[in-house]
Homo-oligomer: A and B are copies of this chain.
């Protein structure tokens, strides 16, 4: 089931909540995080949804432009996508430089948001730049790779 809110977003962009698009959103709704296009395609096949890989790419791009998904890049040579949670203004990752494992974290988010908000205001003024979002990545070794 695709949330009413999403249908509204689709219509506000003059786009249709097609079966392919809903199926893709369902994959992310089921708890899968930061998936690559190929991984989304794989999940769809596993659920017996036949969607071409080109359609997956086109819709991941569309959903990102609509603000439903967010592109993230972990330096493994392909784009990954994750659901933008309604209450969330940003989202951060620990990336293992050895095995590529990615951990999402939310520690100290309040403090972090407070600090980054202040920094954003400063940067906007100084560089005449309108900041829309930000991403923070930590790189290192996960417990298995140390």
Contacts and interface: CB of A to CB of B under 8 A. Distances in A.
A139 B97 CA distance: 24
Contact of A127 (B105, B124, B127): B105
Interface in A91-143: 94, 96-97, 103, 105, 107-108, 111-112, 115, 118-120, 122-124, 126-143
**Could you say how many copies of this chain the assembly holds?**
2
Range for the number of chain A residues in contact with chain B: 35 or more
B119 A143 contact: no
A75 interface: yes
A119 B122 CA distance: 21
Contacts of A119: 107-108, 112
Nearest to A143: B128
A75 B75 contact: no
A73 interface: yes
* CB-CB nearest 10 A-B residue pairs: A128-B143, A131-B140, A132-B140, A130-B141, A134-B138, A130-B140, A73-B73, A135-B137, A133-B139, A131-B138
Interface of A: 71, 73, 75, 94, 96-97, 103, 105, 107-108, 111-112, 115, 118-120, 122-124, 126-143, 146
